[in-house]
Every structure is written in structure tokens, then in C-alpha cells.
Amino acid sequence: MGATGNRPFKVLGVQQIALGGASKGPLRQLWHGLFGLAEAGQFRSERENVDEDILLLGSGPLAVEFDLMQPIDPARSPRVDTPALNHIGLWVDDLAAAVAWLAARGLRFAPGGIRKGAAGHDVTFVHPKGNPEFPASGEGALIELVQAPPAVIAAFAALEAAQAGLAN
């Protein structure tokens, strides 16, 4: 995979959808109980004020995480339950290149820089609101950029090659 035009990275696909509620019980009943998404793990962080269940839609390297989140302390920030669609995560093939290129073009990132996310991948967040220094933003949405591991990059490349073969 690689650059599109002069862009030194490629957004490959959806890595996760993070949903929040005052209690993750009703979310769990819907997504696991009724829709049947598989359980994949839990994550808890006092610093991020989050208690989450991680479910999977699909299987293999192209599975999409559904993170069901509730705040540990509803009186503290961040409030992972507001808005209910907390954030969307996108796989990128070169996170460091993406951050450098996007920041140079005025995209505002949330504090914290690139760091390990709940699933162990390097991540960073695009801020939902711009400011005078960085006017571009997630336009109201929090967006997580996630470094795709080699197996995910290969799976998307194989899918792209298969689709190109069908088009010929």
C-alpha cells in the first residue's frame, strides 16, 4: 500500500466504532445479546475514565471492533458516553507519515500524540474542533487513526488486488 497522489499514507478501512453510554449494559445487550457480535476483551483506564467491552464484527484481520464504553466516574472528563457515538477508528498504513503530513496541512490533533491504544496498536486522535493554529478538524467527530499491523495491510492489499482483477 502507499501514497495516494502525494499523500504518504493510505486510509485502509474502519478499525473500530466506539459507542458510549452511562452504563454499557444496554449497549452490550444490543450488540452482543441481540446482534451476536463476539466478545474479544475488556479495557479499563482510570486516566481515560473508561471501562469498555470490546466486541468484534467479522473475523480475521478485517474484523471491526465495536468498543462499548461507559465512564468510570460520570462526574469526570472525558465523558466517553457523550456523544453516544464516541469516535470512529480508521486503519492507516503509515501513522507517523499521516500525522506529519496532516498536521503540516492544518489538521488539529488531540493532546497525547501517538501512543499505544487499548488493542495495543499505535494510535492518535484527530480533534473534533479546529482552532486558529490548526483550522482543520474532525468537523465535530473524534477520529482515531490506528497504525495497521502487517496482517491488516496485507489483507487490504489482497482485497484491493482481487477487486482489480474482477474489474479487468
Q: Is the pLDDT of residue 127 over 50?
A: yes
- Cell 464504553 locates to 69
Q: What is the DSSP string of 37-98?
A: PEEEEEEEETTTTEEEEEEEES-GGG-EEEEEEE-SSTTSSS-TTSSSEEEEEEEES-HHHH
Residue 1: its pLDDT value, please?
Answer: 45
Q: Is the residue at 2 inside a domain?
A: no
92 within 8 A of 107, measured Cβ to Cβ: no
Query: CATH number for the domain including 64?
Result: 3.10.180.10
Q: Is the residue at 103 inside a domain?
A: yes
**Close Cβ partners of 25 (under 8 Å, ≥ 6 residues apart):** none
Q: Is the residue at 5 inside a domain?
A: no
Residue 28: its pLDDT value, please?
Answer: 96
Residue 5: its pLDDT value, please?
Answer: 63
Cα distance between residue 82 and residue 9, in whole Å: 31
Residue 107's domain comprises: 12-167
pLDDT category at 166 given cuts 50, 70, 90 is confident
Mean pLDDT of 120-127: 96
Q: Is the residue at 67 inside a domain?
A: yes
Q: Is the residue at 16 inside a domain?
A: yes
Q: Is the residue at 70 inside a domain?
A: yes
Sort strands 64-70 and 11-20 into parallel, antiparallel or unpaired: parallel
46 within 8 A of 72, measured Cβ to Cβ: yes
Q: Is the residue at 1 inside a domain?
A: no
- Number of compact structural domains in the chain: 1
Please report, rounded to a whole number, the percentage of residues in the chain having pLDDT higher than 70: 97
Q: Is the pLDDT of residue 51 over 50?
A: yes
Q: Is the residue at 4 inside a domain?
A: no
- Number of C-alpha atoms within 13 angstroms, CB side, residue 89? 23
